Structure 1
Amino acid sequence: MTNNPRLGIMLMIATTFVFALQDGLSQHLGSRYNVLMVVMIRYWFFAAFVIAIARRQSGSIRNAARTSQPVVQIARGLLLSFEICVMVAGFVLLGLIESHAVFACYPLIIAALSGPILGESVGWRRWAAIGVGFVGVMIILQPGFGVFSPAALVPFAAAVMFALYGLLTRYVARKDSSATSFFYTGTAGAVSMTAIGLWFWEPMIPTDWIFMGLLCVSGAFGHYLLIRTYEVAEASAVQPFAYLQLVFASTLGFVVFGETLRLNVAIGAAIVVGAGVFTLLRERMAARRRA
């Protein structure tokens, strides 16, 4: 692995842009067809990509699938597939801007749960940042002001699920290779979504099949860029730039889908992102002290 932070940052920016496009395609298709079917087809392509990558890195599918913790690995894959369904539902209900504004709190949830789940130490500064970040989430949701919509809890639920997925990924990384974890991410999700999504199959018009193809390609390409990002730079150096997905997705929501950016959402998102970046920087400093 090389260490080229500048290239890593450029790749992370490209990754977030591709993932934002993927989210826009998901919103378009999810508003027209059953979300479970859309995610199922997306996972078929993703699973093929994952198997190819895992086989190349491990030498064979059998090597990639070898693990001493299959239950946790399968649980990770299931959790991510369900999280994607919930998040796409959030795009349909709330739009890209508000969904991503709420979802941006997931690093704070990871930081908050890393202690009880992984036994990691969380200092008072990071706890303070977590508290400030969730104040930002409350500003976005506006509970108790007569305009709160229960639909706003959908992307928050997705953020909790994605945080748990991230924590489980850290947990299995203690024993399994990244190729093994990536293999189970794709295959477990594809199996679960096929078992569920086939019951909700709907015919699609030819134009939307083109969009579906773009969704599948963008998903695989985005993960390829993410893999390359972590190959050329340390995660702590590039992770703060992952928040640019909020910027790109919001721009897409505003320009393409005609969404509006409410003042409370802008203020709350700025607080959440600021707290999240601070938390990431504190984790980076703690990792350097341990090294």
Structure 2
Amino acid sequence: MTEQNTRLGILLMVATTLIFAVQDGISRHLAAEYNVQMVVMIRYWFFAAFVIAVAARKAGGLRAAAATRQPLVQGFRAVLLVAEICVMIYGFTLLGLVESHAVFACYPLLIAALSGPVLGESVGWRRWAAIAVGFVGVIIILQPGFGVFQPEAVVPLMAALMFALYGLLTRYVARGDSATTSFFWTGTVGAVAMTLVGVWYWQPMSGPDWGWMAVLCVTGALGHYTLIKCYEVAEASSVQPFAYLQLAFASALGLTVFGETIRPNVAVGVVLIVAAGLFTLWRQKVKGGG
């Protein structure tokens, strides 16, 4: 991999995290006014159309994109992701962007912890130590022993666990399916599943909010496009640490646009979680195992 490609990959990952952070801000705004299921359903309609358009341009077209020997796992992955998005956006309405993302940042540690039982990968003592440090960070954020524990904080933690499982299943299906196939199933099955739920929660939307919904749909497609391009030009291990910038960008939006604050315990917890997450990524790159 050339240095130029790695640099381009990093720039694309930074762009992706910024786009996803903007998406989170718009989702927080819309979910405060309308039902979460409806917001995600409309977003997924556009996402499915984008996925189908991308697949149609590939060799073999839609038939090749849809072909898989793992339909149950692919379908479960898609439903898991759309459910995770609903849970996370609900978390935004309860806790805001700063604290939701602070807790959600532990998902790479959950992936590392679960890669053994789910994928049969070996996790050495150093990575287990980093995972433990990261979860100390989560506990500091949650403050379970100070009488001010927020039950709402469990919501983004649940989203992190769902997203970690989705990530592991994505790695699992990659052993037999192309990225195009996984992307196709994610968009189409997710849209169908979300429509079956969301259509019952339809609410009339104001003109300006339809504008925000349009931006949400476009940023969703654009973010996935830049992410795909990012992994095409650079190795995942080189760009993955920069995914943590979504936490910084989303927090900046929460502070400036939504008037949120960062509590000292959240700041300390985030430092531990991100440091532990970066260490596990580094160990994975260096040793591949532990």
TM-score by length of 1: 0.97
Residue matched to 2:119: 118
Corresponding position: 1:136 with 2:113: no
Q: Which stretch has the larger CA shift, 278-287 or 131-140?
A: 278-287
Residue matched to 1:74: 75
Q: Let me know the Cα RMSD of the aligned residues.
A: 1.3
* Residue identity matched to 2:89: V
Residue matched to 2:231: 230
- Partner SS state of residue 33, structure 2: coil
Deviation at 1:286, TM superposition (A): 2.0
1:196-245 per-position Cα deviation (integer Å, ceiling 9, x unaligned): 00000000000000000000000100111101111110000000000000
1:110-259 matches, within 5 Å, as 110-259=111-260
1:151-203 per-position Cα deviation (integer Å, ceiling 9, x unaligned): 00000000000000000000000000000000000011100000000000000
Q: Distance in 2 between matches of 1:25 and 1:271?
A: 28
Q: Distance in 1 between matches of 2:66 and 2:213?
A: 28
1:7-36 per-position Cα deviation (integer Å, ceiling 9, x unaligned): 111111111000000000000000000000
- Partner SS state of residue 260, structure 2: coil
Deviation at 1:57, TM superposition (A): 2.8
Deviation at 1:44, TM superposition (A): 0.2
Q: Distance in 1 between matches of 2:60 and 2:29?
A: 38
Q: Distance in 2 between matches of 1:159 and 1:56?
A: 33
Deviation at 1:2, TM superposition (A): 6.9
1:93-112 per-position Cα deviation (integer Å, ceiling 9, x unaligned): 00000000000000000000
Q: Name the count of aligned residue pairs.
A: 289
Deviation at 1:255, TM superposition (A): 0.1
* Residue identity matched to 2:22: L
- 5+ residue gaps, structure 1, are none
The answer (yes or no) to whether the contact 1:103–1:158 under 8 Å persists in 2 is yes
The answer (yes or no) to whether the contact 1:103–1:159 under 8 Å persists in 2 is yes
* Residue identity matched to 1:216: C
TM-score by length of 2: 0.98
Q: Distance in 2 between matches of 1:102 and 1:58?
A: 41
Q: Distance in 2 between matches of 1:129 and 1:144?
A: 23
Residue matched to 1:286: 287
Change (3 A) 1:83 1:77: same
Residue matched to 2:44: 43
The share of aligned pairs that are identical, in percent, is 70
- Partner SS state of residue 281, structure 1: helix
